[in-house]
Amino acid sequence: MAVTSYSLLNDENEVHPSNLRMNLPRQFIKPVIPKGETTLSPEDECCVLSPEEGNIHQISPIDGPAAFLDILAPPYDHETGKRVCHYYQTIGMEKSKDRGDIMWLGQAGQPRDFWCDTAPYLGPEL
Protein backbone atom coordinates (compact mmCIF):
# COMPACT_ATOMS: atom_id res chain seq x y z
CA MET A 1 0.00 0.00 0.00
CA ALA A 2 1.05 3.59 -0.50
CA VAL A 3 0.75 6.22 2.23
CA THR A 4 0.88 9.84 1.11
CA SER A 5 1.08 12.30 3.97
CA TYR A 6 0.55 16.04 4.35
CA SER A 7 1.18 18.46 7.18
CA LEU A 8 -1.35 21.15 8.00
CA LEU A 9 0.05 24.66 7.95
CA ASN A 10 -0.07 26.01 11.51
CA ASP A 11 -0.61 29.56 10.33
CA GLU A 12 -3.37 28.71 7.86
CA ASN A 13 -5.12 32.03 8.42
CA GLU A 14 -2.09 33.84 6.98
CA VAL A 15 -2.22 31.86 3.74
CA HIS A 16 -4.87 32.56 1.15
CA PRO A 17 -5.58 30.61 -2.02
CA SER A 18 -4.68 32.83 -4.95
CA ASN A 19 -6.29 31.26 -8.01
CA LEU A 20 -8.79 28.79 -6.61
CA ARG A 21 -12.48 28.78 -7.37
CA MET A 22 -13.80 27.86 -3.97
CA ASN A 23 -17.19 26.17 -3.80
CA LEU A 24 -16.77 25.64 -0.05
CA PRO A 25 -16.73 28.10 2.84
CA ARG A 26 -13.16 28.97 3.91
CA GLN A 27 -13.44 26.96 7.18
CA PHE A 28 -13.73 23.76 5.10
CA ILE A 29 -10.56 24.44 3.10
CA LYS A 30 -7.15 23.53 4.52
CA PRO A 31 -3.68 24.46 3.24
CA VAL A 32 -1.18 21.61 3.61
CA ILE A 33 2.44 20.89 2.73
CA PRO A 34 2.94 17.56 0.91
CA LYS A 35 5.40 15.35 2.85
CA GLY A 36 5.77 12.60 0.26
CA GLU A 37 4.65 9.07 -0.45
CA THR A 38 5.87 5.89 1.24
CA THR A 39 5.28 2.44 -0.17
CA LEU A 40 4.73 -0.19 2.52
CA SER A 41 4.63 -3.98 2.39
CA PRO A 42 3.60 -6.51 5.08
CA GLU A 43 7.28 -6.88 6.02
CA ASP A 44 7.78 -3.16 6.78
CA GLU A 45 7.78 -1.53 10.21
CA CYS A 46 4.83 0.60 11.30
CA CYS A 47 4.36 3.94 9.65
CA VAL A 48 4.17 6.64 12.35
CA LEU A 49 2.37 9.92 11.78
CA SER A 50 2.20 12.56 14.49
CA PRO A 51 -0.35 15.28 15.27
CA GLU A 52 2.05 17.88 13.85
CA GLU A 53 3.74 16.04 10.95
CA GLY A 54 1.96 14.03 8.28
CA ASN A 55 -1.31 13.87 10.18
CA ILE A 56 -3.42 14.20 7.06
CA HIS A 57 -2.87 11.06 5.02
CA GLN A 58 -4.10 9.17 1.99
CA ILE A 59 -3.98 5.37 1.90
CA SER A 60 -3.94 3.68 -1.52
CA PRO A 61 -3.82 -0.05 -2.28
CA ILE A 62 -1.16 -1.10 -4.79
CA ASP A 63 -1.83 -4.72 -5.76
CA GLY A 64 -5.31 -5.55 -4.49
CA PRO A 65 -7.19 -4.65 -1.30
CA ALA A 66 -5.41 -3.08 1.66
CA ALA A 67 -6.13 -2.79 5.38
CA PHE A 68 -4.90 0.10 7.51
CA LEU A 69 -4.95 0.06 11.32
CA ASP A 70 -4.96 3.58 12.69
CA ILE A 71 -4.27 3.71 16.44
CA LEU A 72 -5.32 7.04 17.88
CA ALA A 73 -4.61 8.23 21.37
CA PRO A 74 -6.78 9.94 22.40
CA PRO A 75 -9.39 8.55 19.98
CA TYR A 76 -11.69 10.52 17.71
CA ASP A 77 -14.51 12.16 19.64
CA HIS A 78 -17.44 12.80 17.32
CA GLU A 79 -19.92 13.33 20.17
CA THR A 80 -18.27 16.51 21.49
CA GLY A 81 -16.71 17.50 18.16
CA LYS A 82 -13.23 17.88 19.68
CA ARG A 83 -11.39 15.24 17.62
CA VAL A 84 -13.38 14.56 14.47
CA CYS A 85 -12.26 12.54 11.47
CA HIS A 86 -12.56 14.48 8.20
CA TYR A 87 -12.12 13.46 4.59
CA TYR A 88 -10.65 15.77 1.96
CA GLN A 89 -10.18 16.11 -1.75
CA THR A 90 -7.54 18.13 -3.56
CA ILE A 91 -8.92 21.40 -4.89
CA GLY A 92 -5.69 23.08 -5.94
CA MET A 93 -1.96 23.52 -5.63
CA GLU A 94 0.34 26.50 -5.81
CA LYS A 95 3.97 27.38 -5.25
CA SER A 96 5.06 29.69 -2.47
CA LYS A 97 8.46 31.38 -2.43
CA ASP A 98 8.99 30.81 1.29
CA ARG A 99 7.01 27.55 1.82
CA GLY A 100 7.40 25.52 -1.37
CA ASP A 101 4.37 23.60 -2.64
CA ILE A 102 1.08 24.33 -0.90
CA MET A 103 -1.81 21.99 -1.61
CA TRP A 104 -5.37 23.07 -0.90
CA LEU A 105 -7.74 20.42 0.42
CA GLY A 106 -11.50 20.79 0.60
CA GLN A 107 -13.52 18.85 3.13
CA ALA A 108 -15.53 16.05 1.47
CA GLY A 109 -17.77 13.17 2.48
CA GLN A 110 -16.43 9.71 3.33
CA PRO A 111 -15.56 7.82 0.11
CA ARG A 112 -18.07 5.10 -0.84
CA ASP A 113 -15.33 2.48 -1.11
CA PHE A 114 -13.93 3.17 2.37
CA TRP A 115 -15.03 1.38 5.51
CA CYS A 116 -14.06 2.34 9.04
CA ASP A 117 -14.94 1.04 12.48
CA THR A 118 -13.85 1.75 16.04
CA ALA A 119 -13.22 -0.43 19.05
CA PRO A 120 -12.79 0.66 22.67
CA TYR A 121 -9.35 0.42 24.23
CA LEU A 122 -9.50 -2.17 27.02
CA GLY A 123 -5.84 -2.22 27.98
CA PRO A 124 -4.04 -0.64 30.94
CA GLU A 125 -4.59 3.04 31.65
CA LEU A 126 -2.33 5.28 29.56
Point out the least confidently predicted range of 28-32, 33-37, 64-68, 114-118.
114-118
- What does the alpha-carbon distance between residue 17 and residue 24 come to, in Å, rounded to a whole number? 12
Express each pLDDT in 12-44 by its tens digit.
Answer: 556 666 656 667 777 788 889 998 898 988 888
This prediction's pTM: 0.74
Q: How many angstroms separate the Cα of 42 from the Cα of each of 1, 50, 52, 69? A: 9, 21, 26, 12
Rounded mean pLDDT of the chain?
Answer: 80
Domain ranges of the chain: 2-108
Rg (CA), the chain: 16
58 DSSP assignment: E
The DSSP secondary structure of 75-102, one letter per residue, reads: PPBTTTTSB---EEEEEEEEEETTTEEE
33 DSSP assignment: E
